[in-house]
Amino acid sequence: MQQRNDQLIGLQVQQNLKLNPTIASISIPDDKPLSPISLVKPQQNIHIYNKDYEDKIEMLKRMANYQEQDYPNGTFYGQMLNGKKHGQGLMLLPGRVCEGFWQNDRKHGYCKEIFDTGETFEGEYQNGKPQGKGVYIRNNESYDGQWVNGFKHGHGVWRMGNDFYEGEWKFGKIDGYGVYIQNNNKYTGSFRNNLKHGHGIENFANGDLYNGQFCNGKPEGQGTYIWNNGAEFRGFFKNGVRHGKGVWNKWDPLKEGHFRYEGMFENDKKHGQGVFTWPSGNYYVGSFVNDYRHGYGEMFWKDQYYKGYWERGMQHGDGELCKNGIIKKGRFENNVLTNQRSNSMWESGESNFKLSNNLNQTFSHCSSQRSKYMPAIGRKPKLIMRKGDKTVILDSLSINDIPIENDPDFLTICPEPAKQKKFKPKMNCSQLLKQHFSTLRK
């Protein structure tokens, strides 16, 4: 019996909708509840009247084709054609009022919408959506500009409190060239997807300035940053910080000179090879790690120099110190020479060696193996290599460049007899090393 009742109700609803498709008000007896497969009860039409718009309604009544039409979501007062809103009118809805022009039942032309929440929109519509010039206001936020298909699109001015943007928009997002001011910081340049992207200039409230490339809202690529104290960096950025090759300098008015660093940066710190110069003219050439002189480097003062290893900004490791013409060589710890070696044992052959930084690093780390090959006074160095359990000694070899980097087979530099005659090899150093090691692999 219940199934039969549901079928009859469904048939009645379909027939009524066919007879009057503009009316969705269907009465269903309360004693016959809908089954899960039955149609949902359509909303009843409602009638809304607002005395604040009484004069406007009276004016509309004098127009041709004026009608009043109730809908489930409100009441329309105005011109209609073939049962559709068409022409000038006023639509009263719960919490919202729309006044303007319609075409084929959709807002089309100039319209003004006011919400109980305080939001307003006033501008051009096309097929029911903002299209063309329009002004949107919500609380302390506003947008005055172009719209396309209901989105901010084209040139527009946006404000929220003290924040301000004027420029290009694409489908509701800041995209293109514009000017953005936030917390007294001003950015002028390119945007993409609401973020600074491309070339731009940013003036900060504290007086700093950045001019360069942006990526996803942060400096990335080549750029120039100038601090309010006069310091300046020109180089490369990554993810908003200095990263890669660059030049930093700062003028010191008291010393009347520049602090200057030219070299590599990593995560906003000096890291890698670089040159740092003080206003006095002193300078350092070598390796940096996390803003410290670290690794092999050479420091030059007016009357002295140090060539050797550093650790966190201090002379630490094998090095050579020359002061007032007196050269001291040996082991340094925390800027102090703790283990001095005699200069005479190096005099005859030291100038024949030009060690790379990586080679010096290997030399420093092999002190335990170097002890059994310690040079005697008055002897020249020679190169000892080892492959597995075999050792090869390169005798009587004058080496001007050793192309070995991070090679675990390199042990140390050891003495050769001073009286032994030098000879100039027909092959370069790299070829000689390959020849010796090829015999060890056999």
Give me the percent of the chain exceeding a pLDDT of 90.
Answer: 57
pLDDT in tens, 29-85: 333 333 333 344 567 888 888 888 999 999 999 999 999 999 998 999 999 999 999
In tens, the pLDDT along 88-122 reads 999 999 999 999 999 999 999 999 999 999 899 99
Question: What does DSSP say about strands 185-192 and 195-203: parallel, antiparallel, or unpaired?
Answer: antiparallel
User: For position 339, what pLDDT does the model report?
Assistant: 82
Picking from 212, 181, 210, 182, the residue whose alpha carbon sits closest to that of residue 197 is: 212
Q: What are phi and psi of 314, to 5 degrees?
A: -125, 150
Return d(Cα 25, Cα 228) in angstroms, integer.
Answer: 71
Give the residue-averaged pLDDT of 178-197.
Answer: 95
Q: Find the range with the poorest average confidence among 17-21, 96-100, 371-375, 430-434.
A: 17-21
Q: What is the mean pLDDT of residues 362-367?
A: 36
- Please compute the mean of the pLDDT values over residues 173-181 and round it to a whole number: 95
Average pLDDT, the chain: 76
> Highest mean pLDDT: which of 19-23, 141-145, 356-360, 404-408?
141-145
Q: What is the mean pLDDT of residues 191-215?
A: 95
Domain regions of the chain by residue span: 229-342
Q: How confident is the model at residue 430 (pLDDT cuts 50, 70, 90)?
A: low
Choice among 320-334, 362-376, 408-422 with the minimum mean pLDDT: 362-376
Distance in angstroms between the alpha carbons of the first and the last residue of the chain: 100
Mean pLDDT of 419-434: 52
Q: What is the pLDDT of residues 214-237, one digit of tens each?
A: 999 999 999 999 999 999 999 999
In angstroms, rounded to a whole number, what is the distance separating the alpha carbons of residues 365 and 257? 39
Mean pLDDT of 7-14: 38
pLDDT value of position 213: 96
Residue 117 or residue 345, greater confidence: 117
Furthest CA-CA distance within the chain: 124
CA distance 98 to 81: 19
Q: Domain spanning 229-342 has what CATH number? A: 2.20.110.10
* pLDDT at residue 133, as a whole number: 96
Q: What is the mean pLDDT of residues 17-31?
A: 29
399 closest CA partner among 370, 368, 431: 431
Residue 365 confidence (pLDDT) above 70: no
Distances (CA, A) of 201 to 100, 174, 196, 418: 43, 17, 10, 65
Tokens, residue 411: 């042990």
- C-alpha span between 105 and 164 (Å, rounded): 37
pTM for the structure as a whole: 0.63
Tell me the pLDDT tens digit for each residue of 265-277: 999 999 999 999 9
| Mean pLDDT score, 395-412 | 39
